[in-house]
A and B are shown apart, each in its own frame.
Chain A
């Protein structure tokens, strides 16, 4: 499903070259759950954004679902994200002041689907994440758990094959973190490919993780 071959990424910031990733290779099969470990600044997030096509590698290639996302023009990689990839961010990153339903439909906005199709998809995603009863409430008035379920509903609204999670449990208390892990397990059971970047010890030794990869200063630790 995801094939990362020999990828390097160099940022040029204020005349200074920062090697964020060097010669990373990785293979994720369909339905697998992969854990990316590493201290902050080790390149986990960079790798996630490369897999999602949000940035392009300096060298190497990334193939997602049979298509080389690392060489795609922006318009097509965005389309790829809309169709195949769901995102769960650190601190959820919901869009403030919008309602739950509006947040959940955001990924569908560029598609220009008929309104009733969009409403239908949003309803299904919200019901699945048990947040449909708050559909029209503004997200800043939700509790932490409800925000979390909204974020997951948003990631799932277009039925993605792959879900990428970036430090999903950072800033969460233990109870919420555990419930998030349960949500991820449910996704894995449905056959969704998962890539989770985290340094939260709660994730280590989970039974449904197929592969654990540790990054250290941008390189894979053997």
Chain B
């Protein structure tokens, strides 16, 4: 167990989230079960007031989770200087068996709670508060990954052992990776992933043009997946200008001007607006064109900036890596 100030800060906030989250869960279960907009009983009256408390707790958690996600990655990055063998956050994250799961949970929760807020905005401006029951059921479901994340995070930091030697990103993200699924990515030709990446970007633009809800959700989900894979396998090497250096975490370091933060924000915002807006469209039967336009904007910005790296490299050096 290593108690650096950063870890204590993360754990303190985790405990707060756990407490407030539990309260919100209890209240939202009751609201989901007893909500009846038409009734004017004292119970319904109380539930109406409690629903604002749940909403404010969720807003609090979500607004903090955004910077905390960055702070978590940053903390891991900082710890990499303490842990032998780790060169960047990826080594630290992978030093505990479920480190990668934790990161994925964090990402999933950001998407989930972001979507909850979209639904909440839709609900509070509805004349009959038609989605209240739905949003509290959704929150109760989202509590599962939320609590899983918090428990994993506490477990992660308590199990983190500074004296253990871990692998650096160079071995984790290569064909020799011990993880079967990761090594598969590298055994397939990188060009395939890059093609899929651009293909699904085009599909998402077409879906946007046709305002197809299902098209937006599916194409953007796949776009996100292949964007991440092609980033690790292909694009990151151009950022580092090293054919063997493939890592999604080193991008976040000072040596590369923290470019990763910008790239990830564009990618995640873009796909979130598309998928979140799409799910909203399924529930409310209206086209959230505002969100989709944003999505198209952010996705395009991401594609352009990540493509600029290989192009710039080619123009400068006249060869591909």
Contact = CB atoms under 8 A, between A and B. Distances in A.
A59 B40 contact: yes
Interface residues of A, number: 10
User: How big is the B interface, by class?
Assistant: 10 to 19
B127 A72 contact: yes
A56 B129 CA distance: 16
B305 to A, nearest CB: 33
Contact of A75 (B40, B42, B45, B124): B124
B253 interface: no
A73 B40 contact: no
Contacts of A58: 40
Contacts of A74: 48
Contacts of B317: none
A75 B48 CA distance: 11
A12 B124 CA distance: 27
A73 to B, nearest CB: 5
A123 B89 CA distance: 58
Interface string A188-222: 00000000000000000000000000000000000
A56 B124 contact: no
Contact of A56 (B40, B125, B126): B40
Interface string B114-147: 0000000000111111000000000000000000
Interface in B98-125: 124-125
B42 A76 contact: no
Contacts of B129: 73
Nearest to B41: A58
Contacts of B128: 73
A151 B155 CA distance: 59
Nearest to A57: B40
Contact of B127 (A12, A57, A59, A73): A73
18 contacts: A12-B42, A56-B40, A56-B45, A57-B40, A58-B40, A59-B40, A72-B127, A73-B48, A73-B124, A73-B126, A73-B127, A73-B128, A73-B129, A74-B48, A75-B124, A75-B125, A76-B125, A76-B127
**8 tightest Cβ-Cβ pairs between the two chains A and B:** A73-B129, A75-B124, A56-B40, A58-B40, A12-B42, A76-B127, A72-B127, A74-B48
